[in-house]
């Protein structure tokens, strides 16, 4: 019976769906986490009787035919790049992006990664770095003896140094955008890598057309909606149970046919 394998594909699909939902819920409090959704598509169809074929010598045509579906398969797991809520931390080096864009991060091997998690700090050399110690491009160092550091919406980093009455500009933060942000490759640690699907990185100044602005003293939260995720979890659970019930019913039907006398 085709229903056995068809229902099995449905159970596998809902298992993947629950795995995606569980990852979203696990990262509810992850800085700048972007939730994901699983998409599915139907599998191949078996043509028992092709539609449009002649049904008689008079030229009559079968209007619909007989096609039997063979189940479901995963199409993609796409990332929803909706803005997360901004939380005020009061930390000088916590930065949030309001609008489009990613911070560019220089990895130890010299390659670039991208993140929206702006919970930054200072390295022993005074550079602005991520929580893992990776330099935030283009590499801005805060002078020793700086009493106050401010970062405006356009990404200008200014420091008030001892002995001066006016703050000095010590660097300019950059933002990076992509044509297809959902195509970035997630690597963990709140980092993404450029891929063939995302397109090439476009570097710009915060506040310029197509780029967000910087909010100092804020961090972006996860865009996971707990109510929506629990609702999706219940739907996936019910769909899994119904597919399991199909397998049970099919097994009972096979058992009944095998016991015919």
pLDDT, the chain, mean? 91
Residues 168-212 have pLDDT tens digits of 899 999 999 999 999 999 999 999 999 999 999 999 999 999 999
Q: Which pLDDT belongs to residue 43?
A: 86
DSSP 31-48: TT---EEEEEEE--EEEE
Helix axes 226-258, 2-26, angle to 10 degrees: 160
27 contacts 188 by C-beta, under 8 angstroms: no
Does residue 261 have a pLDDT over 70?
Answer: no
Section 1-14 average pLDDT: 92
How does pLDDT run across 120-168, given as a tens digit for each residue?
Answer: 999 999 999 999 999 999 999 998 888 889 999 999 999 988 777 788 8
pLDDT above 70 covers what percent of the chain?
100
pLDDT of residue 49: 74
The pLDDT of 222-235, averaged and rounded, is 96
Q: What is the value of pTM for the model shown?
A: 0.85
Q: Which pLDDT tens digit goes with each residue over 53-101? A: 777 777 788 787 787 888 999 999 999 999 999 999 989 999 999 999 9
Least confident residue range of 1-10, 42-51, 177-186: 42-51
- Domain residues of the chain, as ranges? 2-81+224-258, 86-220
- Decide: 147 and 165 in contact? Cβ < 8 Å: no
Structure tokens belonging to residue 233:
């979890």
Q: Cα separations (Å) of 178 from 63, 104, 222, 260?
A: 47, 12, 20, 64
- Give yes or no for a cis peptide into 180 (omega within 30° of 0): no
pLDDT at 69: 81
């Amino acid at each position: 019976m085709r229903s056995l394998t068809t229902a099995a594909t449905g159970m596998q699909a809902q298992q993947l769906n629950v795995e995606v939902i569980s990852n979203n819920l696990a990262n509810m409090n992850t800085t700048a986490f972007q939730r994901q959704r699983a998409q599915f598509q139907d599998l191949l169809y078996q043509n028992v009787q092709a539609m449009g074929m002649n049904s008689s010598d008079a030229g009559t045509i079968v209007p619909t035919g007989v096609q039997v579906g063979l189940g479901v398969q995963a199409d993609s797991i796409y990332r929803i790049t909706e803005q997360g809520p901004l939380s005020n931390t009061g930390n000088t080096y916590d930065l949030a992006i309001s609008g489009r864009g990613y911070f560019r991060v220089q990895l130890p091997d010299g390659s670039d990664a991208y993140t929206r998690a702006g919970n930054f700090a200072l390295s022993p050399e005074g550079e602005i770095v991520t929580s893992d110690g990776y330099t935030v491009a283009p590499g801005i160092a805060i002078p020793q003896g700086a009493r106050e550091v401010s970062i405006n919406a356009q990404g200008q980093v200014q420091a008030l140094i001892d002995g001066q009455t006016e703050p000095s500009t010590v660097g300019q933060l950059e933002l990076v955008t992509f044509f297809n942000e959902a195509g970035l490759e997630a690597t963990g640690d709140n980092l993404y890598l450029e891929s063939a699907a995302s397109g090439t990185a476009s570097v710009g100044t915060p506040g310029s057309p197509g780029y967000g602005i910087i909010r100092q003293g804020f961090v972006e939260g996860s865009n996971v909606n707990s109510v929506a995720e629990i609702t999706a979890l219940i739907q996936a659970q019910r769909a899994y149970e119904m597919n399991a019930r199909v397998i049970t019913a099919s097994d009972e039907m096979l058992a009944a046919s095998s016991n015919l006398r």
